[in-house]
A and B are shown apart, each in its own frame.
Chain A
Amino acid sequence: MSDLSAFREEARTWVEANAPEFLRGKASDPNAWAAGGRKAPFIYPESRDWLLAAADRGFSVPTWPTEYGGAGLSRDEALVLHEEIGRLALPMPLTGFGYSMIGPTLLDHGTEAQRAEHLPKIARGEIRWCQGYSEPNAGSDLASLATSAVRDGDFYVINGQKIWTSGADQADWIFMLVRTNPDVKKQRGITFILVDMESPGVEVRPIRLISGASPFCETFFHNVRTPVHQVIGEVNSGWTVAKALLGHERTSIGGMGRGGARASLPGLARDYVGVDENGRIDDPAIRERVTQCEMDAMSYGLTIKRHGDGLEAGHKPGPESSMFKYYGTELNMRREELMLSIRGPQALGWEGEGFEPAELNQTRTWLRSRANSIEGGTSEIQLNIIAKRVLGLPD
């Protein structure tokens, strides 16, 4: 405990000294988030300064070992660092799939050479990653994917199409699942492989969504060549690696249910709905929904803490990431729905005058949130996984 308070002091001093003034209070402004990369679209130049300062100290990827650009922090220390960053409502210095997904996967399954090649570039925000999992005919039934990789000397030659590739138009590298053996049970013929998006034959087309944004793309592969040493794990054992990575993804998506630095629901309700003579939200139905949402978020946060405490105490991680993905996303969506109810007609803004920027943003985040229970395995798939792997119910 005393160690932690010493670290908190250190983290606080560091944040105070290094966080750009301009970014303070901008935690929930997506324009302030930095995912890095060669195309690095820093909308605010301060985001770049913040990322580089963090990278110099290992705080862009705080729990990674120092030899790969991290600070080697324990989970508790990293939480303290996040709290200190959150205290000034700062954005995290680095976001994105490199940090949250392929990095942890390489730490678990990569060779020393693969880690040394890729991890430091993620830590410094030099390379941005995207994920090539889903295909037009392989959504919930991901293992039926058909994009093929055929060996040719020291290379694999890839042909096929991926879809819902988040940020493919911004990314420098892709981690993807390819079929290397079509003649065995579908899960047994899949390989996890890394591909440079600048390779000849890669084509990216953004998909316009109901929110008006294009965070996802279709990604086409025509005879794309990638070296054999970019295979992670064994050839044809990609499904094992993929499941581990989906665990990281589910935990990362599920983390959104915790609330964190976002607008306070009770505060929003007071502003839009008004308060009665006792200072309570002046609509009993809205008040009840706000209360339920706050209690659910508290219970969910405690469950994440309990799970983390269990890992710290040496418990093995199990299929509970499905629980976090399911509950966290459903909670976040309920919260978005509630924020619409709270704002009422002021939640209908699309663009232009008559709406506050936060209201315009609300419309988009609500629409975006509808994907939460679909991406990373639908809620129904998560419930199937819990029923099968946790409860042992028969197929």
Chain B
Amino acid sequence: MASLVLTAPQEMLARTAAELVSKHGGVDRQRRLRDEGAELGYSPEVWAEMADLGWLGIPLSEEHGGLGMGMAETVLITEAMGRGLAPEPFVSAVVFAGGLLADAGSAEQRAAWLPPLIDGEKRLAPALLEAGSRYGLDRVETQARTNGDGWSLSGEKVQVVGGVGADGFLIAARTEYGDNGLTLFLVPAEANGLEVVAQGRVDSRNSAIVRLSAVHVAAGAVLGAVGGGLEPLGRAVDRATVAVCGEMLGLMTEAFERTIEYLKSRSQFGVLIGTFQALKHRAARMFVEIELSRSTVMAAARALDEGSDDAELQVSNAKARCSDALILVTNEALQMHGGIGMTDEHDIGLFMKRARALEFAFGDAAFHRQRFARLRGF
């Protein structure tokens, strides 16, 4: 495996990403967008700036008009976004949707969608979850029936991240073809019978319900092979999972550092509370968990970039580790802040709410431990 140390260009990318996030207000921006009830849930001007920097094409190959970087670079951007709670739908629109389109899309679909995606003129949202899906990629009820020379889609997708304001959706639906019938469709937002309704989640991000009532799409809307959706979907989910792990790493690091600063500044009983061994040992354990998490994220990103045999194992190892560490750190952060942490005015609650959404994105720790065990055959 490649070295688990950042190269000089990677260090620079990480710095640029951190500067971009803090320049636009850091965590205060997320709070402001929430309080304003901003319809998109993110800042179009930040999205445009990310496009100018080329980041909306960062994981896409140069052949597809991207920067041709890998997951090792992508997680540096999501880490910076996690630190500052930046709400732009980078993982869903770029890593997941862009990556899936580049991987499984036809030349025609790529030519139509990738350039405007990379320029930030258009945005795709993957519509994966249904109310009963939990984490099973093939737990899909949405139906696609052949209809003339095209297809008719019916069903309801929920928690479609970045769904509000999206120009198109990548939708998994069940057909009567192939092993499991799972087929991917690229559906424009303006299609007849497609309805998008904002869905309120605990993290106040852009999330939507997408209702499909006999939505007619042409045969050319199928992404990849009919009945062959599961494999490219699995690959896209693995990449998106690692990108999410980067965000988790940034979030836990920031929440932890803020907590350590609090332990160094808050006095009770006439002494700084950071002198108490009961808190010191818990802080030290969190430090160790964050260090382990960082190693797993770097390793999983490189395993995907190198196409290693153990890439899936590394992805599940990282997601399980980061999920456990993130929940430990954000819960402890609140406890160590005491009563002030329970107030809406304090930022720790914002970290905690986002942490939960990340924990359940693409499978929680228990799900990934099961997957790890299955892959290892025990």
Contacts and interface: CB of A to CB of B under 8 A. Distances in A.
A292 B313 CA distance: 13
Nearest to A305: B4
The binding surface of chain A is classed by DSSP as helix
Nearest to B2: A309
B295 A295 contact: no
B278 to A, nearest CB: 11
B28 interface: no
A277 interface: no
Contact of A303 (B263, B295, B369, B376): B295
A383 B372 CA distance: 30
Contacts of A395: 275
Contacts of A382: 284
A306 B376 contact: no
Contact of A298 (B4, B275, B281, B317): B317
A386 B369 contact: no
Contacts of A354: none
Interface in A273-320: 279-281, 287-288, 290-292, 294-296, 298-300, 302-303, 305-306, 309-310, 312-313, 315, 320
A270 interface: yes
Interface in A342-395: 380, 382-384, 386-388, 390-395
B295 A306 contact: yes
B372 A306 contact: no
Contacts of A327: 288, 292
Contacts of B287: 323, 386, 390-391
B378 A287 contact: yes
A195 interface: no
B62 interface: no
A266 interface: yes
Contacts of B293: 299
A326 B288 contact: yes
B294 interface: yes
B378 to A, nearest CB: 4
A313 B5 contact: yes
A305 B283 contact: no
Given A303-B292, A309-B5, A387 B377 contact: no
Interface string B259-292: 0100110000000101101001101110110011
A193 interface: no
Nearest to A295: B317
A225 to B, nearest CB: 43
A295 B320 contact: yes
21 contacts: A279-B377, A280-B373, A281-B378, A290-B373, A291-B372, A294-B372, A295-B317, A296-B292, A302-B292, A302-B295, A305-B299, A306-B4, A309-B3, A310-B5, A313-B5, A382-B284, A383-B284, A384-B277, A390-B284, A390-B287, A391-B284
Interface string B358-378: 000000000001101100111
Contacts of A266: 376-378
A387 B281 contact: yes
B5 A306 contact: yes
B283 A387 contact: yes
Nearest to B369: A291
The 7 lowest CB-CB distance pairs between A and B, nearest first, are: A306-B4, A387-B280, A266-B378, A386-B284, A302-B295, A383-B284, A303-B295
B317 A299 contact: yes
A290 B378 contact: yes
A269 interface: yes
A281, A291, A299 — which one has the most chain B CB atoms within 10 A of its CB? A299
Contacts of A305: 1, 4, 295, 299
Given A295-B317, A309-B3, A386-B288, A391 B283 contact: yes
A390 B299 CA distance: 24
Contact of A302 (B263, B288, B299): B299
B280 A295 contact: no
A302 B285 CA distance: 18
B150 to A, nearest CB: 41
B354 to A, nearest CB: 23
Given A298-B317, A306-B294, A306-B298, A383 B5 contact: no
B175 interface: no
Given A327-B292, A384-B281, 19 more contacts: A280-B373, A291-B370, A295-B369, A298-B296, A298-B313, A299-B293, A299-B295, A303-B295, A305-B1, A310-B4, A312-B5, A320-B291, A323-B291, A327-B288, A380-B281, A383-B284, A384-B284, A387-B281, A387-B284
Contacts of B295: 299, 302-303, 305-306
B373 A287 contact: yes
B292 to A, nearest CB: 4
Contacts of B370: 291
Given A298-B317, A305-B4, A291 B373 contact: yes
Contacts of A309: 3-5
A105 to B, nearest CB: 26
Nearest to A280: B378
B313 to A, nearest CB: 8
Contacts of B216: none
B258 to A, nearest CB: 13
A269 B288 contact: no
B3 A299 contact: no
Contact of B260 (A270, A300, A383, A393): A393
A269 B377 CA distance: 12
B378 A300 contact: no
B321 interface: yes
A279, A287, A393 — which one has the most chain B CB atoms within 10 A of its CB? A393
A162 B4 CA distance: 41
Given A294-B376, A295-B317, A295-B369, A393 B296 contact: no
